Amino acid sequence: MNKPLSKLRAAKLELYRQQGKIHARAVAGRFNSLRRALVWLTQIVFYGACWLNWESNGSMRQAILFDIAHEKLYLFGLVLWPQDALLLALALIVAATALFLATALAGRVFCGFLCPQTVYTAIFVWIEARVEGDHLARLKLDRRPPGPGKFVRKAVKHGIWAAVAIWTAITFVGYFTPIRELLAGFGEWRVGPWEAFWLLFYAAFTYVQAGLAREAVCQHMCPYSRFQGVMFDPATANVAYDRRRGEPRNARRQGAGGDCIDCGLCVEVCPTGIDIRDGLQYPCINCGLCIDACDAVMDRTGAPRGLIRFASANELAGVPAPRGVAGRPRVAVYAGLLLAGVLLGGWLLAERTLLRVDVLRDRGALSRETADGRIENAYTLQLMNLDDVVRHYRVAVSGLPGLEIVGGREFAVEPGSIRPVAVTVSAPAGAPPGGIRPIVFDISAEHAPASGVREPSSFVLP
């Protein structure tokens, strides 16, 4: 007699059992139309943005480019440098906070409509349907023994998948290496080793994730699906089945049965293969396809729509929706953090200066006295030009009566470079005796004298 499995062992077998590839049934409806529109929108932006050009100082460059080799990020007219890492970090924080806010409001709606895994899986499934047929035809083809017909269809499908994956990889790398140069390099066989590595890696990654792994990513691999539940509250709207209205299920709609006729279409159209009638489950990506399927069935049976809908736990339980900030503190915190991040980022961007200055004293000689009794201190000014054109800067000094710069006061700095310049500051004879006095260097650009930089330092008197 076989020993019964423990509950833990049975759960593991249920989780990792071999179910085979899920061939979801195609469905029409408002949520499917929205998903398709967002697929088109995201891919037009992704595949098209790298081809946009931007005019800068009489020359054309790629409008969006992560130029790692030269440590620059081009975003149309904005050029960011490693010194602007705070802005990039803040942008990531704002994006994460926006995701948390969306999750608190509508569950995994990002996963269902904008996640790259969902988007590219939808593209690959669309290709598969055009080559192999609808979900039933694909199931039959998978079960059919090997033969010429099956081989040809599979080969065509995988060939198109590979072409899409390769072009996706080229586009991805084209945001780090100018895409026109990258394509020209293919023709001349001069693609660099790093470009070749990332092309192969990203093409293989796209092919495996969207073509082979598909729903397994959402079911077992995605970490977000595991912890997204901590961002829910009872007022979070998720795709849900109205059990009070749908039960008991009645296939023939006779007697006092519920509105659910147990047709199973909500399961057939689900891209992750779950039954939403079993309640909230972590593989659910809130794509709304089961809503489209159920609404179509309700229309045919004469029942009102909404048996499956976006609804909160409070709504399903008949609890009144919370009002005001006090009713949903989690949403208020996320919204406040998002607003603060956007405002802070806007302020940092508006106050961002394209000139950075470091003042270094000459440690070899704190001060020296000239033949006419003047006191001199030597400094090295590190002038960094964060603009993408050559800039000319003027240096002045203040802080003591009669203080002046000996020698050159105007310096040209190449774009994106640091120029160390030696500056000698002189105080007149008869200056107050002894001590260290604070002074200030004023550095201004010729094209914008008002937007200068003031850098404090000190002047040593004997």
pLDDT tens digits along 226-265: 777 788 888 889 999 999 988 888 765 555 678 898 888 9
Distance CA 254, CA 250 (A): 7
Q: State the sign of the Cα–Cα–Cα–Cα dihedral 412, 416, 420, 424.
A: positive
CATH number of the domain where residue 438 is located: 2.60.40.10
pTM: 0.80
Residue 187, C-beta contacts closer than 8 angstroms, at least 6 positions apart: none
Q: Are 174 and 199 in contact (CB under 8 A)?
A: no
Give whole-number Cα distances, 310 to 107, 276, 291, in Å: 9, 12, 8
Q: What is the pLDDT of residues 314-337, one digit of tens each?
A: 888 888 877 766 678 888 899 999
CA distance 351 to 453: 12
Tally Cβ neighbours within 10 Å of residue 117: 18
Which residues in the chain come in under a pLDDT of 50?
A: 1-17
How does pLDDT run across 164-200, given as a tens digit for each residue? 999 999 999 999 999 998 888 887 788 888 888 999 9
Structural domain span for residue 440: 355-461
Tokens for 299? 């229309």
Give me the residues paired with residue 382 across strands: 358, 420
* Tokens matching residue 148: 């010429």
- Provide the pLDDT for residue 460: 85
Query: Does residue 225 belong to any structural domain of this protein?
Result: no
Alpha carbon 24 to its chain centroid, in Å, reads: 28
CA torsion, ordered 67, 73, 79, 80, to nearest 10 deg:
-120
> By three-state DSSP, how is residue 189 classified?
coil
Question: DSSP letter at 145?
Answer: P
103 C-beta neighbours (distance < 10 Å), count = 24
For 366, half-sphere exposure in the C-beta direction (CA atoms, 13 angstrom radius) is 9
Q: Residue 206 carries which side chain, given as an amino acid letter?
A: T
Instruction: Single out the residue of 162, 158, 175 nearest to residue 72, CA to CA.
Output: 175
CA distance 120 to 122: 5
Task: Assess if residue 403 is contained within a domain.
Answer: yes
CA–CA dist 6, 81 (Å, integer): 57
Q: How many CB atoms lie within 10 A of CB 74?
A: 20
Q: Total structural domains in the chain?
A: 1
What is d(CA 274, CA 294) in angstroms, rounded to the nearest whole number? 14
CB atoms inside a 10 Å sphere around CB 130: 11
Place of tokens 């979070």: 236
CA contacts within 13 A on the Cβ side of 241? 25
Peptide bond into 304 cis (omega under 30): no
Q: Please give the pLDDT value at position 255.
A: 59
Instruction: Give all strands of the β-sheet with 410-413 in edge-to-edge order.
Output: 410-413, 391-398, 435-445, 448-461
Q: DSSP per residue over 192-246, as a string? A: -HHHHHHHHHHHHHHIIIIIIITHHIIIII-SHHHHGGGG--TT--EEEE-HHHH
Q: How many CA atoms lie within 13 A of 165 on its CB side?
A: 24
Residue 264 tokens read as 């199973």
Structure tokens at 83: 């010194």
Orientation of helix 329-351 relative to helix 85-106, angle to 10°: 160
User: Can you say how many angstroms the Cα of residue 264 is from the centroid of all Cα atoms in its chain?
Assistant: 36
Number of helical (H) and strand (E) elements in the chain, helices listed first: 17, 16
Q: Is residue 373 part of a domain?
A: yes
Instruction: Estimate to the nearest angstrom the gap between the alpha carbon of 247 and the chain centroid.
Output: 42
Q: What pLDDT sits at residue 14?
A: 43
Tokens 């002074």 identify what position? 439
The answer to whether 282 and 229 have CB atoms below 8 angstroms apart is yes
Other Cβ atoms less than 10 A from the Cβ of 443: the count is 20
Query: Rounded CA gap, 125 and 27, in Å?
Result: 13
User: What pLDDT is attached to residue 390?
Assistant: 85
Residue 262 is assigned to a structural domain of this protein: no
CB count within 10 Å of CB 48 equals 10
Contacts of 282 (CB under 8 A, 6+ apart): 225, 226, 228, 229
Cβ–Cβ < 8 Å for 356, 384: yes
